[in-house]
Amino acid sequence: MDLTAVLWVDRERRYFIASTSTTLPGTPYDRLRWRQGKVTAARVALIVPQPQVAAAYYRFCSPIDRCHRCRQDDVRLDHKLFTNDWSMRVNMSLLGMCIADSWLLYSGARGDVGGLSQHEFLEILAEQLIDNTFETAGLRPRGSAEAAPAVDESVPLR
């Protein structure tokens, strides 16, 4: 298989290894950068060229990287629960993905009007996971609420 290795620098060094695509100039994008003038500093829009391999990566893989950053840097389950047990690592990774995806879904659906920070959201999620009733039988009575007898929802499922 023919592979292409590319080093591209915008703000940081990025290394790309690709089996397709090319290093021909891709779609440039605008970046706002601070530049010092003679008197004051100002934000200037710079046009940053990028190769096609970098443009393809950022177009398709940036949501995956965002989820990984949220899971590894924000939730930090890998750092808080250190283990060498393979099954525990897999389960913690899966739990971290679920937690990161739930935060990204909440923040994406609610936007700025959501009202909860990520820390507050994770605290509420943890409380709901600890005090859950997933293993109880929840039967709904048929008919009107007055005619139906009370249902004991604390009976565990077997």
134 occurs within a structural domain: no
In this structure, are 44 and 92 located in the same domain? no
Regarding whether 52 and 25 lie in a shared domain, the answer is yes
Q: Are residues 55 and 23 located together in one domain of the fold?
A: yes
In a domain, residue 140? The reply is: no
Residues 52 and 81 in one domain: no
Q: What is the pLDDT, as a whole number, of residue 156?
A: 54
Q: In order along the chain (158 residues), what is the average pLDDT of each group of 10 residues? A: 77 79 82 84 86 82 72 67 75 81 81 75 82 70 56 53
Find the farthest-apart pair of alpha carbons in the chain and give their distance in angstroms, rounded: 82
Sign of CA dihedral 116, 117, 123, 129: positive
Let me know if residue 87 belongs to a domain. yes
86/34 same-domain check:
no
Note whether 16 and 48 are same-domain residues: yes
Q: What is the pLDDT of residue 51?
A: 86
138 in any annotated domain: no
Q: Tell me how many domains the chain contains.
A: 2
- Provide the pLDDT for residue 80: 61
Same domain? For 1 and 50 the reply is yes
Write out pLDDT tens, residues 133-147. 777 766 666 665 555
Tell me the per-residue pLDDT of 39-61, one tens digit each, with 9 for 90 and over.
Answer: 888 888 888 888 888 888 877 77
pLDDT at 152: 54
Q: Is residue 25 part of a domain?
A: yes
Cα gap 154→142, rounded to integer Å: 19
Burial of 100 (0-12, 13-18, 19+ CB in 10 A): buried
Residue 104, in any domain of the structure = yes
Q: Give the whole-angstrom CA distance, residue 73 versus residue 62.
A: 16
| pLDDT of 85 | 79
Give the range of the structural domain holding residue 2, as residue numbers without chain letter: 1-60
Helix (H) or strand (E) holding 8: strand 4-9
139 lies in some domain:
no
Let me know if residue 55 belongs to a domain.
yes
